[in-house]
Structure 1
Amino acid sequence: MRGHGVWMRNATLFTRTTQACLVGVFVLGMTLRNVSVVLNALFALGVTFLPAVLERDFRIELDPRFTVYLGVAVLLHAVGMFRFYDQVWWWDHLTHTLSASIVAVVAYATVWAIDAHSDRLYFPETFVTVFVLAFTLAMGVFWEVLEFAAREAALALNLDPVLILYGLDDTMLDLVFNLAGALVVTLFGTGAVREQGEELAAWLERRRGTS
């Protein structure tokens, strides 16, 4: 319990630091009049408030390690808009791996929560692994389609695209790293993710008790 409390304090401090950095990215983006930087900084900043909203409004306490991990992912993405995606060859691969692993964590915890909550459902471990991998890849494809649609819409309106596309080969490589992020979760992170799933299961039980 003492270690968990230390993690909570450190996660809170890290989140505040991340939010301050994202505000700095936003201000710099406004100064440079870079719409991509501004919008991505705002999106990333909003994501950092999700854990607090879930805990306050839904009484779902996220693992502080996941909160830190989430903050790292969105901060790297926002900072990457300062041409890091163009000039650092591995930056895009890293952010895609981190983002995909977050999607995989959410998928795995949700399936585990449903399995633990319901007496009528049982999901074998193999099924859960395949589902998490497939779901993560599907979300990766959806994101790539969204990037393409957003770019085409911006060009049609004579606006600067907020998201950057580098061609089909890059898209396929992004999906490979999405799969890598999901594999990391299914191979090495299931213990911690199951704990988060149990927290979600407890939330489902509370909702059933109040309905």
Structure 2
Amino acid sequence: MIQNFLRPPHGAAEWAADAVRVLALLSVVAAFVWWEPTDAGVLALVFPGVVLPRFVGVHPLFDIGYGVVLLVAAWSNVFDLYTRIWWWDIAVHLVATGVVAVLAFLLVARLGLVALSPGARVVLCAAFGLAASALWEMVEWLGKTFVSSSIFVTYDDTIGDMAVGGVGALGAGVVLAVLSARGSARRPARPSVETKHS
């Protein structure tokens, strides 16, 4: 995977995906200079996640979308959109957990650790999404407990976020399975090789 990370970008989409990564790094600096240290901390947590697709070697369009979704999720915290718009938290958890689950699946698939059947894609994406949701809620709790009491954490919000994230991950798994099945159907079958016995 290090070869994927070190490989120069080819084509406009790969350059755009790398531009999103640069934007993520600049976002950390901007939040630290003009906003609160906790805002910079949230963006700093997102930055490694935006870099990870470069290692995995995902399709550049997914790479761009994934990075933009994570940046929107982080900047929504800076601009307090989660409390200003009642449905924003639901929408972001739904979409962000979905793309994170897909990336997690692609990572373990690249490592050869999982089965690639359509059913496995759906189940594993859902599991990865629920795990990521639980981890994020723990990070929020740690932030509220040890960093700033202004971080919004309640039982109902935590459970709701995890449930919505699970639904988003399940949906993303279904989309991944459908796209994979279509891609397999379009590929020409390999010609069979007859072996001759002497």
Higher alpha-carbon Rg: 2
Give the alignment of 1:55-74 within 5 angstroms. Answer: 60-74=56-70
Is 1:187 matched with 2:174? yes
- Residue in 1 that maps onto 2:185: none
- Please list the CA deviations of residues 15-44 of structure 1 after superposition, one character each: whole Å capped at 9, or x if unmatched: 434544453333211xxxx23212112223
C-alpha separation between the residues in 2 aligned to 1:38 and 1:44?
Answer: 10
- Residue in 2 that maps onto 1:202: none
How many residues were matched structurally?
171
Change (3 A) 1:45 1:90: same
Of 18, 24, 33, which aligns to 2:30? 24
- Please list the CA deviations of residues 43-69 of structure 1 after superposition, one character each: whole Å capped at 9, or x if unmatched: 2334333445x2xxxxx5232123212
- Residue in 2 that maps onto 1:160: 148
TM-score using structure 2 length? 0.68
Identity of aligned residues (%): 23
Change (3 A) 1:9 1:21: same
C-alpha separation between the residues in 2 aligned to 1:131 and 1:46?
Answer: 22
User: Amino acid of the residue matched to residue 46 of structure 2?
Assistant: A
Change (3 A) 1:24 1:109: same
Return 5+ residue gaps in structure 1 as ranges.
55-59, 195-211
C-alpha separation between the residues in 2 aligned to 1:21 and 1:101?
Answer: 23
Which SS does the other structure have where 1:73 is aligned?
A: helix
- Residue in 2 that maps onto 1:93: 90
Which 4+ residue blocks in structure 1 deviate beyond 4 angstroms? 121-124, 191-194
Q: Which moved more, 1:19-28 or 1:84-93?
A: 19-28
Give the alignment of 1:166-205 within 5 angstroms. Answer: 167-190=154-177
TM-score using structure 1 length? 0.65
Change (3 A) 1:81 1:111: closer
Change (3 A) 1:111 1:46: closer
Task: Give 1:151 deviation, angstroms.
Answer: 2.3
Give the alignment of 1:109-124 within 5 angstroms. Answer: 109-113=106-110, 117=112, 122=115, 124=117
C-alpha separation between the residues in 1 aligned to 2:138 and 2:100?
Answer: 17
Of 136, 140, 151, which aligns to 1:147? 140
